[in-house]
Chain A
């Protein structure tokens, strides 16, 4: 069975600072994809970043970057220069088919 674990139910960070959200996963597959989705108070799910497991280079999208450790099955999200608009639930997700398996989420609060 495939699982995704987010061990931080809540995190907080001051505006302009950097924060890292943790995610570990388990899969027996060799080819898979990992994602971070953001769900702000509007509840619209927004794709933040995606990582293909076969790529060793960590994905980056502007202020968002990941630390992908395949052997350790770890996929953390780093948010640099945090902004108030980053306040949201963040879900880590795994897919090796079309289905997405979500973690339980981390609620991030950015303080001014």
Chain B
């Protein structure tokens, strides 16, 4: 149980375009999901908390207009990187809360902006 998937696992896009990453909880419902960003050989940095049916809560310093989050159902949250630039290239990881204080993570999405 507690499986979280992400799609795509790897994406290359051109500078100025937008890309959408999906995060799904496969065998449970998740009212809360989280989006993280991880640079090479670094730790995970929380970008935002995604709540089903309401607006996401962004961490300080994260541009909400660049990183659009939509949590339209209890099993799906999406992260759209708008007008992507090379500095947005990173590894993006989502997680879903299964019970208080516990999160299970998706396999991550590697984004490369050329």
A and B co-occur in one complex: yes
* Stretch of B21-29, B77-85, B94-102 with 4 or more beta carbons under 8 angstroms from chain A: B94-102
With A98-B97, A98-B100, A99-B49 as known contacts, state yes or no: A44 contacts B43, CB within 8 Å. Answer: no
Instruction: Please indicate the chain A residues that have their CB under 8 angstroms from the CB of B34 in the complex.
Output: 98-100
Task: Contact check, A99 vs B108: say whether CB atoms are below 8 A apart.
Answer: no
A42 nearest CB neighbor, chain B only: B107
A50: contacting residue among B91, B97, B102, CB under 8 A: B102
Bound-state Cα–Cα, A46 to B107, Å: 10
**Complex Cα gap A11–B103 (Å):** 26
Q: Does B67 contact A (CB under 8 A)?
A: no
CB nearest neighbor in B for A45? B105
Instruction: Answer yes or no: B44 CB below 8 A from chain A CBs.
Output: yes
Residue of A nearest to B108 (CB): A43
Assess A102 versus B44: contact at CB under 8 Å? Given A44-B105, A44-B107.
yes
B93: nearest residue on chain A (CB-CB)?
A: A45
Q: Is the interface of A mostly helix, strand, loop or mixed?
A: loop
Q: Which label, helix, strand, loop or mixed, suits the secondary structure of the B interface? A: strand
Total count of chain B residues near the partner, CB < 8 A: 20
CA distance in complex: A67, B101 (Å): 20
Number of A-B contacts defined by CB within 8 Å: 47
Measured CB to CB, the closest approach of chain B to A64, in angstroms, equals: 16
Contact indicator B43/A43 (Cβ below 8 Å): no
Determine whether B46 belongs to the interface, using a CB cutoff of 8 Å to chain A: yes
A4–chain B nearest beta-carbon distance, Å: 9
Decide if A47 is an interface residue (CB 8 Å cutoff): yes
Q: Contact at B43–A105, with CB atoms within 8 Å?
A: yes
Shortest distance in angstroms between A27's beta carbon and chain B's nearest beta carbon? Answer: 13
Cα A99 to Cα B49 with chains together (Å):
8
A104 to B43 alpha-carbon distance, docked (Å)? 5
In the complex, whether A95 has a CB less than 8 A from a CB of chain B is: yes
B42 within 8 A of A: yes
Could you write out 22 A-B pairs with CB less than 8 Å apart? A33-B101, A43-B108, A44-B107, A44-B108, A45-B44, A45-B93, A45-B95, A45-B105, A47-B102, A47-B103, A47-B104, A50-B101, A91-B44, A98-B97, A98-B101, A99-B46, A99-B49, A100-B34, A102-B43, A102-B44, A104-B43, A105-B42
